Structure 1
């Protein structure tokens, strides 16, 4: 198999053609003709760290990634101005951004789980950034790669390999070993490093009073658990534990950068005030970890949850991963939930065990800035 995922692409070939036409019409014809922002001029002569392709949609996992990236940059690149360029502004702002780019500047590309053909608009814009800003240091923040084993997936992977490998200033950060090995194979060892998901750099724990169970299940193309089984599980949990709060890390509204912290604080409060989280979302599991909330996590349709758990979290006593066959056993889930709740190990965390894992990103950028020849980090 030539890709990292056996999952079929959800688009038929005709839908794929229509998608491509719509994407390029919207972004390269309509969007590129719009007036770009002129505020970038005030950063001329200053060291700048742009972060491009950040979300304005309601996926709080992606919003948390954007928040954690900003915190990481502010903590580790104190001499730099942080400048965020949301997804919809990248193409129309390109000319204005190029006018102010200078030698020490860095471009970060938003991390996540969208390197592949499942979310093609994200992959297309990432390629655009890597191709357009070839002379600037670029860091693609921690990502999962997942190209499908279809004609579309193979075609798109080939395009990404060609564009990524033509940029000598690019660092690609994988967030789990399966993606790390695939990225090294496709893009070369010198371009790829491994760190945890950037959200694991946060510590959002507290000593809030905890009560009940919080569920956080997805309802999109990455889900594995079906609706009827989910409903039966919820009913069993309510009968056994009483208070069960149904939640999700995706909300049906736009979230702009100035609204991000408030929205994240709300969801993190719901985690911090729960005795246990049951989820099939990667950032459901990660939010549980950074709030030190016991968690049972189910597998999703690709490798990102299982590999993240095995690489970084399997030694945590209060996180348990269930494979597909284990998800079907309601009694086993209830038994594990009882054990995790009774451990009562959900105090605040003093030290974040993942903090040092991200030094690879720092050292790469510093080497590029200082011009050191040995670029392997």
Structure 2
């Protein structure tokens, strides 16, 4: 009973925080209209690609998505003005952005794994964008959709369906096959494309001396690995290898467009300097893919890792996927680490061509 009460209290707490954010943002937008930024007014006659809902928090997976989104747009479409609107500024800047829009402009929504009821505030802001800019082409960068089967999950899915289906200018992109099928089922096949996570459009490979083992484990709601197992595995690794580093793709730091690349290079250099990375994070696996780093990746609580691996990365022989149900003991993992260290003849499979459908779609957006 105590566990149920704690879960209920947690849901109420987050619901109140969500309401507080939406309410304050609404006051700023409707009543006060506090936004002295003249950026959009100055470029209203230029063609714009605006990425909205980018993060300021320290999740380096989300930050890598924002970095890749910017690079993807600026490198593939050099006749445009690129602009970024952080999650916190979406509602605040809405009026000024809308006034600046012209034919040919495109609004992009930050990609990731938050289309669902687990990160509900993210979904609520995405709904606002889809509803408020319904006369402008909107493209949601590659996402995982994951609404729970609970009463709340079904209720929130229906809210999302109502808003998304009412926007004829919306394109969704699924980053793995289960999300692709789910999105087609709920929103219609014409509204959905299928590409990898946008971070897989990056190439961060370099010749770097590699030494030791790096672990990168999560400690949140998405974890599937047993905490005791992780602790025992790290202890065994430290007994066998001289250098074992413990890292994470989440840091306690505010990250903006100004310091994003610097912080990403820190984690990428850590990964590139390791012989083997052991992780249960999707972007831990993806960072290994874009740096050509041997990797052992464990399944997480939902489908995003296993599907991303099977859809896009299984032909990269330096990435080893392990279902948590198949783990016998830590010795099994140590044995795989040894096999990887003794075999450096890896096969690599590129992902850049998988983004051609998105490039083609953007190129066909009418400018006049």
Cα deviation, 1:101-129, whole Å, max 9, x if unaligned, reads: 00010000000000000101110000000
Cα deviation, 1:13-60, whole Å, max 9, x if unaligned, reads: 644653443232232225653522222112121100000000010000
State the secondary structure of the residue aligned to 1:302: coil
What CA distance in whole angstroms lies between the structure 1 residues aligned with 2:328 and 2:225? 9
What CA distance in whole angstroms lies between the structure 1 residues aligned with 2:188 and 2:357? 16
Q: Where in structure 2 are the equivalents of 1:24-43 lying within 5 Å?
A: 24-30=22-28, 33=32, 35-36=34-35, 37-43=37-43
Give the aligned partner of residue 235 of structure 1: 235
Q: Where in structure 2 are the equivalents of 1:86-235 lying within 5 Å?
A: 86-235=86-235
State the secondary structure of the residue aligned to 1:163: helix
Q: Return structure 1 stretches of 4+ with deviation > 6 angstroms.
A: none
CA contact (8 A) 2:76 2:359 kept: yes
Task: Tell me the TM-score normalized by structure 2.
Answer: 0.94
CA separation of 1:93 and 1:370: change in aligned 2, threshold 3 A: closer
Q: Where in structure 2 are the equivalents of 1:1-377 lying within 5 Å?
A: 14-15=12-13, 17-30=15-28, 33=32, 35-36=34-35, 37-345=37-345, 353-369=350-366
CA separation of 1:327 and 1:38: change in aligned 2, threshold 3 A: farther
What CA distance in whole angstroms lies between the structure 2 residues aligned with 1:297 and 1:228? 17
What CA distance in whole angstroms lies between the structure 1 residues aligned with 2:307 and 2:233? 25
What CA distance in whole angstroms lies between the structure 2 residues aligned with 1:339 and 1:72? 36
State the secondary structure of the residue aligned to 2:25: helix
CA contact (8 A) 1:203 1:291 kept: yes
CA separation of 1:31 and 1:135: change in aligned 2, threshold 3 A: closer
Task: Tell me the TM-score normalized by structure 1.
Answer: 0.91
Question: What displacement does 1:225 show?
Answer: 1.4
Question: What displacement does 1:239 show?
Answer: 1.1
Structure 1: runs of 5+ lacking an equivalent: 1-9, 372-377
Structure 2: runs of 5+ lacking an equivalent: 1-6
What CA distance in whole angstroms lies between the structure 2 residues aligned with 1:316 and 1:110? 27
What CA distance in whole angstroms lies between the structure 1 residues aligned with 2:242 and 2:220? 28
Question: What displacement does 1:365 show?
Answer: 2.1
Question: What displacement does 1:230 show?
Answer: 1.1
Q: How many residues are aligned here? A: 359
Root-mean-square deviation (CA), in Å? Answer: 1.8
